[in-house]
C-alpha cells in the first residue's frame, strides 16, 4: 500500500491541472468555434455562433420548453436504466453460477447484441406505441448487455478462497449471496452501471427520433426540420449534460459503496 502513494499523488496533481485548465480549454473551444463560423462565412442554419446558441438556450429555458423535454428524456433514461439493470442482474447472476445455463443462453444473448438497437427501435415503437414505454424498453435493451457482462464477470471474480471460508463456516446460500457475492462483485457491477448510464441516454434519443412528440430527441428533430440549428445544439448540449450528471452520480455512489478500495479520490474514469 505504501508503494502506491507516489502514483496517487501524481494522479491527483494531474486532475488538478486538468480542472485549472478547464476554463482555458473551454474558452479556446469557443474561440475556435467563432473562428470557423467567421472565416468560413457560415450561415446560422449551417453553424450558428456560440452566442446565438446561448441566446436560443436562454429563450427555451425561459419559456419552459427545454425543461419540459429534458424531464421527459430523463424519465425515460432513469426508468430504462433501472429496468435494464434489474433484468441484467437477475439474468447475469444465475448465468455466472451455472455453466449449463450459460451454454444454453449465451449464444442468444451474444447474438442479440449484433442486432443494432437503432434497427429494432421502430419495431418497439410500432408494438408499444410512441409513448414512454417504447423509449424505456429501448433504453433498457441498450444497457442490458454491458451490465449483464459486468454482473457475470463480477460474480465469477469472487475469490474461491472466500467461498471456501463461507462454506467452512456453514454460511447459508443467502448469506453467501448477501455477505460475500454482492459486496465482492460490487466494483465491477458499478463499472457496468456507469457505462449503462451514458448508453441509456443514447437509447432514449434513438427512441425519440423514431417516433415521439416530446423529449430532447424530439427537440433535435424539430430543430432540424426548421433549420433551427441553434436549437439542435441546445438539445445536444443538454443531453451531454444529462449523461455527465448520471455518470457523476454513479461515480459518487461508487465512492460511497467502495470506500474500502484503495482508489485515488479524484479518479474520474
Partner 1 sequence: MSHKLASSYLIVEDLSASFANGNGGLNVLDRISFTVEEAEFVCLLGPSGSGKSTLLRILAGLLEYQSGQVLLEGRSLRGPRAGVGIVFQKSNLMPWRTVRENIQLPLELQKELDNRSQADVQELIELVGLDGFEDTLPRDLSGGMAQRVAIARALVHDPGLLLLDEPFGALDALTRERMASELLRIWNARQKTVFMVTHDISEAVYLADRVLAFSDRPARITLDLAINLPRPRLPEMRYTPGFGMMAQQLRAALQS
Q: Which parts of this chain interact with partner 1 (CB under 8 A)? A: 1, 159, 161-162, 164-172, 175, 179-180, 183-184, 258, 260-262
Contact (CB, 8 A) for 159 and 180: no
Cβ closer to partner 1: 40 or 183? 183
Report, in Å, the least distance between residue 258 CB and partner 1. Answer: 8
Report, in Å, the least distance between residue 183 CB and partner 1. Answer: 5
How many residues are there in the chain?
Answer: 269
Cβ closer to partner 1: 107 or 159? 159
In angstroms, rounded to a whole number, what is the distance separating the alpha carbons of residues 55 and 44?
13
DSSP secondary structure letters along 237-259:
HHHHHHHHHHHHHHHHHHHHHTT
Report, in Å, the least distance between residue 176 CB and partner 1. Answer: 9
Cβ closer to partner 1: 42 or 179? 179
Using N-to-C axis directions, what is the helix angle for 216-225 and 182-210, rounded to 10°? 30
Contact (CB, 8 A) for 264 and 241: no
Q: How far is CA 264 from CA 6, 21, 72, 150, 260, in A?
A: 11, 20, 36, 22, 12
Contact (CB, 8 A) for 157 and 184: yes
Report, in Å, the least distance between residue 163 CB and partner 1. Answer: 10
Cβ closer to partner 1: 120 or 184? 184
Report, in Å, the least distance between residue 160 CB and partner 1. Answer: 10
Cβ closer to partner 1: 8 or 105? 8
Q: Furthest-apart CA pair in the chain: how many Å?
A: 76
Count of other CB atoms within 10 angstroms of residue 268: 10
Report, in Å, the least distance between residue 112 CB and partner 1. Answer: 34
As given in the structure block, the three cell numbers for residue 204 are 432514449
In angstroms, rounded to a whole number, what is the distance separating the alpha carbons of residues 96 and 108?
16
Cβ closer to partner 1: 41 or 161? 161
Report, in Å, the least distance between residue 259 CB and partner 1. Answer: 9
Cβ closer to partner 1: 51 or 183? 183
Q: Find cell 429555458 and name the residue.
A: 61
Using N-to-C axis directions, what is the helix angle for 65-97 and 99-113, rounded to 10°? 150
Amino acid at each position: 500500500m505504501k508503494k502506491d502513494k507516489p502514483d496517487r499523488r501524481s494522479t491527483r496533481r494531474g486532475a488538478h491541472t486538468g480542472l485549472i485548465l478547464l476554463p482555458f480549454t473551454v474558452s479556446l473551444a469557443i474561440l475556435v468555434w467563432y473562428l470557423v463560423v467567421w472565416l468560413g462565412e457560415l450561415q446560422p442554419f449551417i453553424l450558428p455562433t456560440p452566442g446565438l446558441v446561448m441566446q436560443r438556450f436562454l429563450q427555451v429555458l425561459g419559456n419552459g420548453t427545454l425543461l419540459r423535454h429534458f424531464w421527459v428524456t430523463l424519465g425515460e433514461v432513469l426508468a430504462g436504466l433501472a429496468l435494464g439493470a434489474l433484468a441484467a442482474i437477475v439474468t447475469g447472476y444465475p448465468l455466472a453460477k451455472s455453466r449449463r445455463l450459460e451454454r444454453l443462453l449465451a449464444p442468444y444473448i451474444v447474438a442479440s447484441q449484433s442486432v443494432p438497437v437503432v434497427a429494432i427501435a421502430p419495431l418497439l415503437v410500432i408494438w408499444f406505441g410512441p409513448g414512454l414505454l417504447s423509449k424505456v424498453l429501448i433504453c433498457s435493451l441498450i444497457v442490458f448487455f454491458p451490465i449483464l457482462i459486468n454482473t457475470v464477470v463480477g460474480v465469477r471474480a469472487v475469490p474461491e478462497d472466500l467461498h471456501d471460508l463461507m462454506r467452512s463456516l456453514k454460511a447459508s446460500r443467502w448469506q453467501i449471496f448477501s455477505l460475500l457475492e454482492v459486496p465482492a462483485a460490487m466494483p465491477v457491477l458499478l463499472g457496468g452501471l456507469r457505462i449503462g448510464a451514458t448508453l441509456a441516454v443514447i437509447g432514449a434519443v434513438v427512441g425519440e427520433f423514431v417516433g415521439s412528440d416530446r423529449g430532447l430527441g424530439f427537440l433535435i428533430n424539430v430543430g432540424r426540420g426548421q433549420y433551427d440549428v441553434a436549437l439542435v445544439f441546445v438539445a445536444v448540449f443538454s443531453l451531454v449534460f444529462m449523461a455527465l450528471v448520471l455518470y457523476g452520480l454513479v461515480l459518487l455512489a461508487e465512492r460511497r459503496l467502495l470506500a474500502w478500495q484503495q482508489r485515488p479520490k479524484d479518479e474520474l474514469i
